[in-house]
Amino acid sequence: PGIPVRFKYHLQAELEHEFRWHGGSGPAYASIVGGGANACVLHYIENDAPLRDGELVLIDAGVEFDLYAGDITRTFPVGGRFSEAQRELYELVLAAQERAVAAVRPGATLVEIHDGVVRDLTAGLIRLGLLQGEVEARIEDESYKRFYLHSTSHWLGLDVHDVGSYRLAGKPRPLEAGMVLTVEPGLYVPADEDIPLAYRGIGIRIEDDVAVTAEGHEVLTADVPKRVAEIEALMASE
């Protein structure tokens, strides 16, 4: 009380206090709190830089509760409102993430879900001018990987990257009811001279935990706000 949140480790401390306060055994993995260009570092755990107005902060953290791991990522503006460029990139990631979540059902595969994310993000990057040419060409030459470097999903359970095969008999493993996975697309824009200034050094990831059900899926982390209006309203109320 009375201590302003000024550094990323302050956010980490607040999160991990809540984990323990509500009965969790602690963080399920090393909490990631990356702001500004540090959000482009996928496993940034130093969490020691100051929070700067005008930047985004990316928090990838989860509690271990009754031996099970949570894994949630949200990205929000330090100053409470997204800039135009931040909003454009954020809405692109969010649309891809929501379409990917909607694709989770028995019989679907993580490869199909990831391929849909790659297509959505690549089309959006071309629309914003960060990539040039046709969607299929940029997917084929993998130039999208300059901005999206990781897979969309992993198994989640007793460990944050839980055990389990991703392929069976050499083919992508179909999802089955009872499986739990993450859905976590992101964009990480380097601060290079050929990137428009407004987009440089922006890192965004949105991650939910999703259980496969007999009829489709259930988003276990649905109560954590992720739409722009929700995030800005929540921050304005604090």
Q: How do residues 97-148 score in pLDDT, each as one tens digit?
A: 999 999 999 999 999 999 999 999 999 999 999 999 999 999 999 999 999 9
pTM for the model stands at 0.94
Q: In the CATH scheme, what is the code of domain 8-237?
A: 3.90.230.10
DSSP string, 126-162: HHTTSS-S-HHHHHHTTGGGGT--S-S--B-SSSSS-
Tokens of 190: 């380097």
